Chains A and B, each alone.
Chain A
Amino acid sequence: MIIKLPALESELFDTWEKHIEANPELKNSPIEAKEEFERSVDEYYAMIMLISTM
């Protein structure tokens, strides 16, 4: 099982829902677009954590 946590409650933590709100033309995007967006959010978070807590 791959572990997934809910989004962080933060003004700056990006989510697909916030992204769609800012870019409504993307609301019918295929699931792959959402998954890749969320993957990039996770990668960015991991990088931020590397530089902020190491």
Chain B
Amino acid sequence: MSDDVQKLLQERVERITTTIKIEEPDRVPITSMFETWAGHYSGYSVTDVAFNYDKLAESFYKVAEEFEVDTLPPPLGVRCGPIYTTLGTKEFSFFNKDGVPHASIQHMEGKDIMSVEEYPELIKDPYKFIIEKQLPRRYKALDQAPDKKAEALGKACFIYEKYIANAVGKLCGTLETKYGIPALFKSSTEMPLDALMDYFRGFRGVSVDIRRNKEQVIEACEALYPVMLRRAVQNLPSGPFPFIFIPLHIPTYLKPKDFETFYYPTFKRMIEDLISFDLTPALFMEGNWEPYYDYINELPKKKVVGLIEHGDFKKTKDNIGKTITIWGGMPIDVINNSTKEEAIDYAKKLIDDLAPGGGYIFGCDKSLLAPNDANPENLKAVFKFVKEYGVYK
């Protein structure tokens, strides 16, 4: 790494670490959730970037070169195509039956992954349930005789090693050493109730279960807790940056009382445990979290980042801006459906409202997936503006 790149990297890391202490750095840091959109921007399809790690890397390097970002997420949102096709996923699809790539990765909620009668089995030994029941119901290649299943898992291990080394390790390493851009995340996980919904019972199943099987839902969240904590932290270096990415899916579909009963206990414990390891949870707060701001204010101060998707951002800053760092705010609708000047005006208001006192990371409100998710020229203009206007004086 050259001295100039080293200096750039240090400046960016310091900018972000100062921001998350809710102090004013030299300027507002900039980043967004670049996912398969990065490939489209380089002229590559979803299939290209999910299956060819060179094309994936090339796409992210182009973003690093052309957009004024301080950090970039590892390309986990692009997903490891070969592992899904080799195992015969029943849920994820990268291309249609004729091999034509989709505009973005398609996901159908899994069917019959876990019945309500199987709660005791999941609660007793969640890891065993995953290996013996959940995986065979999600992947055709794991629903075979033991010898065939072992062969499929062996192939998956090889694919996984190559994916981590190349698609994640090599790409993120080059972003650091060539462009001075640190990775935004070093790991990810989900909160137990989200995991129960996403990978076991589905949205409909969990919605019914919290009415009819209250105790089992609570016990399942407790049982999944160590599994999901381990997923987040095992073998990680401690330190506040890069962050631990945690998308929050179900909370805003819950009544505040149900949130408190079913979600909040393991949610708060996960955040406190991550902080105890000197890690920074970065929560993707999907939906409108305004009814839950009191819960957010019970979290440890100045230790958490929240990517806010909806709401009145001035109100967000006033209500939870002393507790967590606010990230996001720039609607991709505005990036796409406004003139450059209108988009810049919107960004200016965000900086005026959210930047004072620190604790604000500029970025789009949603992940960038499909080709039309962001007009690149407007996005570049907005990032360039924020880099200049977001300087603390």
Contacts and interface: CB of A to CB of B under 8 A. Distances in A.
Given A1-B237, A3-B234, A8-B127, A52 B138 contact: yes
Contact of B80 (A42, A45, A50): A50
Contact of A52 (B130, B234, B235, B277): B130
B195 A53 contact: yes
A20 interface: no
A32 B277 CA distance: 26
Nearest to B84: A51
A5 B83 contact: no
Interface string B63-83: 000000000000010011001
Contacts of A54: 76, 79
A29 interface: no
B248 to A, nearest CB: 14
B135 to A, nearest CB: 6
Contact of A50 (B83, B227, B234): B83
Contacts of A8: 127, 226-227, 230
A5 B230 contact: yes
Interface stretch (B156-164, B171-179, B214-222, B370-378): B156-164
A44 B164 CA distance: 12
B237 A12 contact: no
Contacts of A28: none
A53 B127 CA distance: 12
A2 B237 contact: yes
Interface in A1-54: 1-5, 8-13, 42-54
Contacts of B231: 46, 49, 53
Nearest to A49: B231
Contacts of A45: 230, 234
B11 interface: no
Interface string B46-77: 00000000000000000000000000000010
A13 B126 CA distance: 10
B238 A3 contact: yes
B274 to A, nearest CB: 10
Given A43-B161, A49-B227, A54-B79, 15 more contacts: A2-B238, A3-B236, A3-B238, A4-B234, A9-B226, A11-B125, A12-B127, A45-B230, A46-B234, A50-B160, A52-B130, A52-B135, A52-B138, A53-B190, A53-B199
26 contacts: A3-B235, A3-B236, A5-B229, A5-B230, A5-B234, A8-B230, A9-B125, A9-B226, A10-B125, A10-B126, A11-B125, A12-B131, A13-B127, A43-B160, A45-B230, A46-B160, A46-B164, A46-B231, A47-B160, A48-B135, A50-B160, A51-B156, A52-B135, A52-B138, A53-B195, A54-B79
Interface of A: 1-5, 8-13, 42-54
